[in-house]
C-alpha cells in the first residue's frame, strides 16, 4: 500500500518555527525517525520510506500555504494515490493547544491551505490530522498569531505532541483511519 502524507506549512526561515508550520515540523520528525532526507522536487520537498510494509510518501509543499492544493494534487496523481490514502497534517485554531485529532473529512474552516486542497483535489473527503494551536489572540490578530512562534510553556510540550502526531500518522498507515481514531481521539 502507498500513502501520501502532507505536512502543511510555509517555506522560508521566517516561518520555520511558527504555529502555522506545525505540519512541516511533524513531517520533519517523521523523516528524522525514518532516517529519510527530503529532496526538492516539483511543488514540494519530498521523501519516502517504508513503514511496516507500506510505502510512505511524505511531502512538504513548497507552494506556500495558500496554494497547497497544487502540490497535493500533483503528487496524488504522480504517485497514483487515492484521496482516502492522503493524510494532511494541519494547524487548527479551533482545537486547544495540546490536543491532536484525526478526522476522516471536514470543512476548511477558514484555513487557506485546506481551502486550496479542497478546491484542487475534489472536495472535503480526505483525512486530516488536526494539530491544536489554540486561539489565544485578540480579535483581528489571527494572522499574527498563526505566524508567531510557540510560547515557552508550549515549547516544553511540543516534542511530546509532535511525537504523538507521528504515532497517529504511522497508526493511520498501519491499521487505518477508523481504528486510529478509536485509539487516539480520546
Positions annotated as catalytic residues are: 20
Count the neighbouring beta carbons within 10 Å of the beta carbon of residue 25: 25
Asked if 129 contacts 80 with a C-beta cutoff of 8 angstroms, the reply is: no
Query: What is d(CA 168, CA 177) in angstroms, rounded to the nearest whole number?
Result: 9
DSSP 48-90: EEEETTEEEEEEEESS-GGGHHHHHHHHHHHHT--GGGEEEEE
DSSP 106-158: ---TT-HHHHHHHHHHTSS-S-EEEEE----S-TT-HHHHHTSBPPHHHHHHH
Residues 6+ apart with CB under 8 A from 158: 25, 150
Task: Give the cell for residue 80.
Answer: 497514483
Amino acid at each position: 500500500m502507498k500513502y501520501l502524507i502532507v505536512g502543511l506549512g510555509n517555506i522560508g526561515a521566517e516561518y520555520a518555527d511558527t504555529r502555522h508550520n506545525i505540519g512541516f515540523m511533524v513531517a520533519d520528525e517523521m523523516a528524522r525517525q525514518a532516517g529519510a532526507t527530503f529532496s526538492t522536487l516539483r511543488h514540494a520537498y519530498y521523501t519516502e520510506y517504508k513503514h511496516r510494509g507500506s510505502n510512505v510518501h511524505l511531502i512538504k509543499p513548497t507552494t506556500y500555504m495558500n496554494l497547497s492544493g497544487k502540490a497535493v494534487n500533483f503528487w496524488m496523481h504522480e504517485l497514483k494515490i487515492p484521496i482516502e490514502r492522503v493524510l494532511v497534517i494541519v494547524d487548527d485554531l479551533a482545537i486547544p493547544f495540546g490536543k491532536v485529532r484525526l478526522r476522516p473529512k471536514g470543512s476548511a474552516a477558514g484555513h487557506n491551505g485546506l481551502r486550496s486542497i479542497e478546491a484542487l483535489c475534489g472536495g472535503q473527503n480526505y483525512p486530516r490530522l488536526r494539530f491544536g494551536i489554540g486561539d489565544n489572540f485578540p480579535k483581528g490578530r489571527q494572522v499574527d498569531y498563526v505566524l508567531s512562534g510557540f510560547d515557552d510553556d508550549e515549547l516544553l510540550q511540543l516534542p511530546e505532541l509532535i511525537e504523538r502526531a507521528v504515532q497517529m500518522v504511522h497508526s493511520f498507515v498501519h491499521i487505518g483511519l477508523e481504528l486510529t481514531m478509536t485509539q487516539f481521539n480520546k
